[in-house]
Amino acid sequence: METFPAFLLIFFLLTGELVCGGTAQLVHCNTADREVLLDFKMGLEDSENRLSSWHGSNCCHWWGIACDNVTGAVITINLPNLNLGWQIKPSLTKLKSLTYLDLSSNTFNGSIPDFFSFLENLQYLNLSHAGFSGAIPPNLGNLSSLQFLDVSSSSLNVDNFEWLTALVSLKYLSMNFVDLSKVGIGWVVALNKLPFLVELHLAGCRLSNFIYSLPSFNFSSLAVLDLGCHFAYKCNNFYSKLPNWLQNVSSLVSVDISHSNLRGRIPLGFSELPNLKSLDLHGNENLSASCSQLFHGSWKKIEILDFSSTKLHGRLPTSFGNMTSLFFIDLSWNGIKGEIPNSLGHLKNLTHLYLDHNLLQGPIPASIGNLKHLAYLGLSLNKLNGTLPESLGLLSELYYLDVSVNELTGVISEAHFLMLSKLKYLLLSTNSLIFNISSNWVPPFQILQLDIGSCHLGPSFPIWLRSQKEIYALHLSNCSISDPIPNWFWGISGSIRLLDVSSNHLEGHLPNPLNLSPIAEVVDLSNNHFEGTIPLLDVSALELSNNQFSGPVPKNIGQNRLIFLSLSGNQLTGAIPTSIGSNLELLDLSRNNLTGSIPSSIGNCVELEVLDLRNNNLSGGIPRAMGELRGLSTLHLGKNRLSGEIPSSFQHFPYLETLDFANNMLTGTIPPWIGEAFPSLRILSLRSNKFFGEIPLAILNLCSLQILDLAENQLNGSIPATFGGLKAMNHLQNVSNSLFYDSYKEYTYQQYIYVIKNGLELQYTKTLALLTSIDISGNNLYGEIPKEITKLVGLEVLNLSRNHISGQIPENISELRQLLSLDLASNRLSGPIPQSMSSLTFLGSLNVSNNNLSGRIPFQGQMTTFSSSSFAGNSGLCGDPLALKCSDDDSINGRSNDGSHGEGKDEADEGNVFIDKWFYLTVGLGFAVGLLLPYLIFSIKRSWGGVYFAFVEMIVFRLSSSKN
């Protein structure tokens, strides 16, 4: 969250004198008290010598000490934040006149001494973040004069609130982050006995249960109620509705119950609280309200409203513009519909307005130009359309403007930025905006983050950037720029930490190294026409794929911080350097012309999660050392010239999901340990190699396996009956659940896997979540098709063609009711085609040609969609669609028509499902991106800075541009 002025409401001074070091006092200190202080000092560890003034006879002059101006007794010890540690001597309790004790933010240890309870005149006690741990001593309840108590600290806990009820004078209580999980439901009852309580801070205390209704309540003074969760850490978890009594506490000024798992409706009574200035309920994802009702109320003095990430719905009413005291409002991440009311322009004091990620549509009202104090404007991730109002250019205080991911159109001109001299963040990406700005424009701002991805800027590189000397994040992805990057750019780029110019037509050679910030994180130059050698850069993510870079992979690339390196789709030659960065999590060198063998030193990259070397000319064996890459989730070595066997070191890959050795010259048997070695495997492709021997029974243990491709090898033996036990395939596929395939990386990662459909090699990119397939075609397998295979009810593609399989097609093959493609061609199958196959309503492709099948083709239902070529080369088959008529035409015809009657109806119903299914398969990714995108962008906004988010963000924008 952006910071906004701390909302300080009540500050009461308890003692007459506020003590600053050495405030001269005429009175001379009490000798006995002086001795106590000296003893107190002896107990302390004052490593920074902060108490150097503690000598001499008049202790009233010592740092942090104040005395009663008549008796000379010490009444105040005020030593916060001095890095004091060690122990507190019990003699302190001899200071009978002490009223004020502040030892907060120091480094004591052990528990809070229980002798504090003898300081019976104490009115102010602040032990917050003082280093104490353990249970707060209940005998603090003896301090009946106490008006202020702050014991905030995450290392403290309280099991029972009974003792607090004795602190009858308490006005201010803060126990932020103290573990109160054991206090139970009694906390409200106990606090209800403190009639003078004005401020209550119990943020992040793991409280559970609010009492929904109180028989009577005494909170007649309560102004500040803070039960929120400031750092999303040990939040309160109420699992309940907002209690009714709360909306009757008319003294309330500020309420924060954010991130606390509240449910139900926001009581409308809140809007009538006469003094309420601040209400923060954000992050309660099950808290709902209709905007038209909620904002219809009076909200007389409201200044701060935060309802982000709740479940607000409905439309913003015109009366929204009545809340003229507002300066901060956050309604982002809700389900608010309709247009933004023009009355917005009445909220003249507004400095922060966030409406991101709702369902808002229509135009951005031009009245927004009246909000003269507006500094933060977030409207991203809605469906706003029309043009960007020129009146935005009048917001001279604007610092942050985000309208990205909407449906805005039209032209952006210099007028839009007329008075925006304070603008630092400009986010316009993923709209259809066109920049029409003269080449000699000098913007009034110095931007920090410029995100105008997918805005039309080109064809020339924006010259006005030349004046921008502070940019740290620049996104110019997919902006139709087709120049080389001008030389002056490398003069202003020295502060850039995030550079994304991907998906343009940028060309030419790059300086090496690029002039970026020494702490640059992400560089994405992918999908352009850059040439020359790979620039060496010390960044965290370097994405240079799909350019025309040539020469070798630089020797020491990624020695330092690099965790993401993609050089895929270039013209790189030579061998993979032996000294490749050991921090890499993703290494993609695919689709180049690399030669030589894979260096053993790759085993040093133990952080690798994705390794992609496919489509090169790599030769030699798979190095044993690769077995060290225990964290791998994706391994592609396909389309090379690798030889030898799968090394026995390949036995411990707990996270491996994709293993692709396809199209090499690997040999040997498929090792029997395969089932144990890859417990998470979803995709196994050993296609087109020289593997021989039987398919191991242990394949059954790959219980996440979705795609098994062993085609085009020299495997023999029979098809293991254990196939039927493949867990990921033996339940129906639930399209919506399987959409969130794996981590974000898998989405970014080009997944090519080849399945055979209609005899064509199709490239299934990124829709794998949805696909289940077995392809063992082109081997020497014999024996019958095991009946058990029909247990794989979720199977979508089955290819057993070009083997020596005999016997009959299992009668109950129709139990594979999600089959999209079935290929049994070129085997020795005999007997009839089962009648039931006509009920396979998703089946889009069928090939049973070149077998010994016989009898009448059950030409009804789905079967009528296939032509004669699906059945050719079976001398015994007859009837439609073949030209050959069956000899007993009349009788059989009659029977089968009867039998199919019921199914025919089913088929009509499922016709649409079929279309949906393919629809999902093809748009699966777009859909997933639609869901993922906002989430990821959100994460970035809220915690900008870490490389992780920078990295994710890059990906998000790539995804969003690839969507277009």
Q: Which residues bind ligand NAG (CB under 6 A)?
A: 16, 69, 298, 318-319, 321-322, 324-325, 343, 349, 361-362, 385-386
- Least distance in angstroms from the C-beta of 732 to ligand NAG: 37
- Shortest spacing between CB 374 and ligand NAG, in angstroms: 13
Which C-beta is closer to ligand NAG: that of 271 or that of 838? 271
Least Å from the CB of residue 361 to ligand NAG: 5
Min dist CB 72 to ligand NAG, Å, is 12
Q: How far apart are alpha carbons 229 and 798 in whole angstroms?
A: 52
Rounded Cα distance between 744 and 723, Å, is 30
Report in angstroms how near the CB of residue 379 gets to ligand NAG at its nearest.
14
Provide, rounded to whole angstroms, the least separation between the CB of residue 319 and ligand NAG. Answer: 4
- In DSSP terms, 123 is beta-bridged to none
The residue (of 170 and 371) whose beta carbon lies closer to ligand NAG is 371
Yes or no: say if 17 and 23 are a contact pair by the CB < 8 Å rule.
yes
Q: Which is nearer to ligand NAG, 69 or 864 (CB)?
A: 69
* CA–CA distance, 150 with 64 (Å, rounded to integer): 18
Q: Which is nearer to ligand NAG, 278 or 845 (CB)?
A: 278
DSSP secondary structure letter of residue 456: B
Q: Any idea what the Cα angle at residue 241 is, between residues 240 and 243, rounded to 5°?
A: 115
Q: Residue 432 or residue 517: which is nearer to ligand NAG going by CB?
A: 432
Q: Kindly write down the DSSP assignment for every residue of 497-529, as one continuous string.
A: SEEE--SS--EEE--SS----TT--EEE--SSE
Q: Which is nearer to ligand NAG, 71 or 144 (CB)?
A: 71
Q: In the bound complex, what is the minimum distance in angstroms from residue 301's beta carbon to ligand NAG?
A: 8
Residue nearest to ligand NAG (CB): 16
The residue type at 873: G
Q: How far apart are CA 658 and CA 797, in angstroms?
A: 18
Nearer to ligand NAG, 25 or 634 (CB): 25
Minimum distance of ligand NAG from residue 322's CB (angstroms) = 4
List the end-to-end C-alpha distance of the chain, in Å, as a whole number. 31
Q: Which is nearer to ligand NAG, 363 or 444 (CB)?
A: 363
Nearer residue to ligand NAG within complex by CB, 380 or 835: 380
Q: 784: which DSSP letter?
A: E
Q: Which is nearer to ligand NAG, 16 or 759 (CB)?
A: 16
- C-alpha to C-alpha distances, 89 to 156, 895, 904, 912, nearest whole angstrom: 20, 101, 91, 81
E strands within 10-91? Answer: 44-45, 65-67, 74-78, 85-86
DSSP-assigned beta bridge partners for residue 426: 401, 450
**Alpha-carbon distance 430 to 964, whole Å?**
9
Q: What H or E segment, with its residue span, contains residue 543? A: strand 541-543
CB of 401 to ligand NAG, least distance (A): 20
Calpha distance 446→442 (Å, rounded) = 10
Choose between 138 and 386: whose C-beta lies nearer to ligand NAG.
Answer: 386
Residue in this structure with the two tokens 């500094």, named with its chain if needed: 375
Q: Which residues contact 923 (CB under 8 A, 6 or more apart)?
A: none
Distances, alpha carbon 495 to alpha carbons 462, 471, 514, 525, 655, in Å: 18, 6, 12, 17, 38
CB of 405 to ligand NAG, least distance (A): 16
Tokens of residue 450, six digits: 């410029």
Give the chain's radius of gyration (CA, Å). Answer: 36
Pairing, β 804-807 against β 782-784: parallel
Q: Find the shortest distance in angstroms from Cβ 629 to ligand NAG.
A: 50
- How does DSSP classify residue 718? B
> C-beta of 148: minimal distance to ligand NAG in Å?
17
Query: Bridge partners of 292?
Result: none
Q: Which is nearer to ligand NAG, 344 or 448 (CB)?
A: 344
